Amino acid sequence: MRIDLERALSDIATTAQSAASPVPVDRLVSRMHRRRAVRGAATGTVAVGAVAAVAVGATQLGRGTTPAEPAVLAATENPITSRYWATTPIECGMAAPTPTDASVYGVTLEASFSPDTLIAMTLPDQPQFLSNLQTTVTVTNDSGAAFDPYAPQLAQVVLVKDGAVALETGGPLVNRDQRTIDLAPGASRTFSWISVASSCEPGPDLWPAPADPGKYEAYAIWRLVDETTGEQIELVSQPVPMTIGPGLDADLTDAPTEVQAQAVLDQILQAAPIGDFPLCGGAVYDHGSQPLAVSFDLTSGPYAGGVRVSGRTTVSLADDPVIADTSAPYLVITKDGVVIGFHRADDGGPMIPTDLAPGQSLPGAVRAPLTLCATADGVELPLPAGTYQAYAVVEAFTYPSRPTDGTQPAGTWAYSLVSEPVDITID
């Protein structure tokens, strides 16, 4: 059975809470468990999440970009058991695929990818998040005969390192409006979609292991089916160089630190947004009305990249008294609306009871370096010269009643309290 996936995604987007809304903790934990269960079911085959990513990409493309053709939709049959996914063209660990020559089927597949550097963000004991990958493929009829009627059935992108597939993304596809690829001699068609690649190696807690930084080769693979005979063919593009970073090219290894830092900053901004504020690469958004507020006073400049700065925070009531716990404040640095420095407090301390009465407040202190997000191999570079915005962020939980046995009661909500930005100019 098929459902109207595009409509279903639209309904979800319409009814979902906005990013500015608080998150009920019981629902958040439930979502995390479900997401991890899906990842676990996908281990050793193809990440089911990648299928959803293709579908979401279709929605994103419909709103924000204009490819030559509308994006394709993911098939709604179970991707593990469906005939649409009986086998995958390329499995993890296999040798790099062989690009399809025009002499094989009379057609070729050309691919391009954006961005050419995927930004990997990995927090301690947490999964790795890679920036979205937009794939654009062009099918060209290089023969003297018509190529028809074929329909896209499966799309896959693999990243190859040291001659073997190390990351992949993709899923089964169905056509919107049952489109076919019907190419006259010399004609071509272009399609585009967005997905998220993941490492082939299983990691802890059912998540894929973090991908290694460095150079890769990316291949696009398309399986098409003859709608008359059911015959399937697979087209493989030529490899395209790609990097997992942020990181430094070999020609920048001995470059001055400020040159290296500018290169990493450019990579982050090019690949953003990745995930949500306050994570590195996330986009700044309006957090809306919240029960608590945090103000931020930063020591006065001038500032130099890499130095540690300190500031004072004050958590106060925004409205009526609440029962709450708050974290130590931490520093988030942004540029052009994108997080480029993330310095979570790592004091190991417990959450702080913050049951404030009117007129009361909770002081705090922030101390962090003016550095960029760590590169994929753990190097922290100083902020390049320029103007940035710094925020103090405090994580908060509010409760209907003070927890007594260490468990969070129903009606517990989680917030990220974000101060107004403070400009920082690096000379």
pLDDT in tens, 363-396: 999 999 999 987 766 778 999 999 999 999 999 9
- Model pLDDT, residue 88: 61
- % of the chain beyond a pLDDT of 90: 37
> What is the H or E stretch that residue 265 is in?
helix 257-271
Phi, psi of 259 (to 5 degrees): -70, -45
CA separation for the pair 69, 72 (Å, rounded): 9
Between CA 383 and CA 334 the distance in angstroms is 11
pLDDT at 197: 85
Is 382 or 62 the better-scoring residue by pLDDT?
382
Q: Lowest-confidence range among 180-184, 281-285, 377-381?
A: 377-381
Section 44-72 average pLDDT: 30
CA 248, CA 196: separation in Å to the nearest integer? 22
Residue pLDDT, tens place only, 141-153: 998 888 877 777 7
Check pLDDT > 70 for residue 356.
yes
- Mean per-residue pLDDT of the chain: 75
**pTM for this entry:** 0.59
Q: So what's the pLDDT on residue 60?
A: 28
pLDDT grade for 50, boundaries at 50, 70 and 90:
very low
Closest CA to 340 of 367, 304, 315, 305: 305
Q: Is the pLDDT of residue 18 over 70?
A: no
| Domains, the chain, with CATH or none | 5-245 (no CATH), 257-426 (2.60.40.3880)
Among 18-22, 127-131, 190-194, the range of highest mean pLDDT: 190-194
* Cα separation, 48 vs 78, whole angstroms: 9
Dist. CA 426–CA 374, nearest whole Å: 18
